[in-house]
Amino acid sequence: MPGWLGGLVEESFFVGCGTHENRRKNEKNIFCLGCCTSICPHCVPAHPSHPLSRVRRYVYNDVVRLEDLEKLIDCSFVQPYTINSAKVVFLKPRPQSRPSKVAGNTCSTCDRILQEPFRFCSLSCKVDHVLLQGEDLSSILFRFDESELAFSRFENLRMDNSDLLLDDDDGRGSSGTKKNKSNAGFFPQIVLSLNNRRKGAPHRSPLS
């Protein structure tokens, strides 16, 4: 498993940053794929050449926008939720009081009830399933353009984090459907080398 993938599904987010413990709005809500660790908005300037991904919260669990994750990994059959007009995917399975015993479509890893035709409730469940089947994770990893995950996307990050919080009180989001990702672009090895990063100014993209 590449270091960034293990870090993304295992890291703790929305906890205070020890480096900036005396600063306001210091919750770790960004993941650095180069350092394989979670960082806060105040840390971003120290990672100018690293690919970064934003993590959000929905019903008190960590989620990432589907459009961001699909740049890194095949998310087909992972159930997405539509919140505030954006599709998101849970990074980890949500806690359950007991495994579901209801007949129907459930997560292949944790047995959470899902809508058809989805097979996984979270990115972590899909990754675990691939490993348990003895398959190579390279079959679901994509080559990604680091300029699309560059520092410039975070230069205007609002420090109040208002655009990162997707919690709602009723805990319901609408599930969405998606087309399977094409096999074109599968990347047998992901190497995030500081020495091999492309030079030049990154392409700017508007912050949504």
Least confident of 108-112, 138-142, 184-188: 184-188
Please indicate whether residue 59 or residue 125 has the higher confidence score (pLDDT). 125
- E strands present in the chain: 30-32, 37-39, 52-54, 56-58, 61-65, 81-83, 86-90, 174-175
Per-residue pLDDT tens over the stretch 169-198: 333 455 654 444 433 333 333 333 333 334
Question: Three-state DSSP class for 68?
Answer: helix
Does residue 116 carry a pLDDT above 90?
yes
- The pLDDT of 130-158, averaged and rounded, is 75
- Omega prior to 93 cis, within 30 of 0: no
Q: What's the confidence (pLDDT) of residue 150? A: 63
Does residue 152 carry a pLDDT above 60?
no
Cα separation, 198 vs 6, whole angstroms: 24
Q: Give phi and psi for 129, each to the nearest 5.
A: -65, -45
- What is the distance of C-alpha 76 from the center of its chain? 14
Please indicate whether residue 88 or residue 145 has the higher confidence score (pLDDT). 88
Does residue 164 carry a pLDDT above 50?
no
Q: What is the mean pLDDT of the chain?
A: 77
Q: What is the pTM of this model?
A: 0.71
Tokens 């109040």 belong to residue? 160
Nearest of 47, 52, 60, 51 to residue 13 by alpha carbon: 60
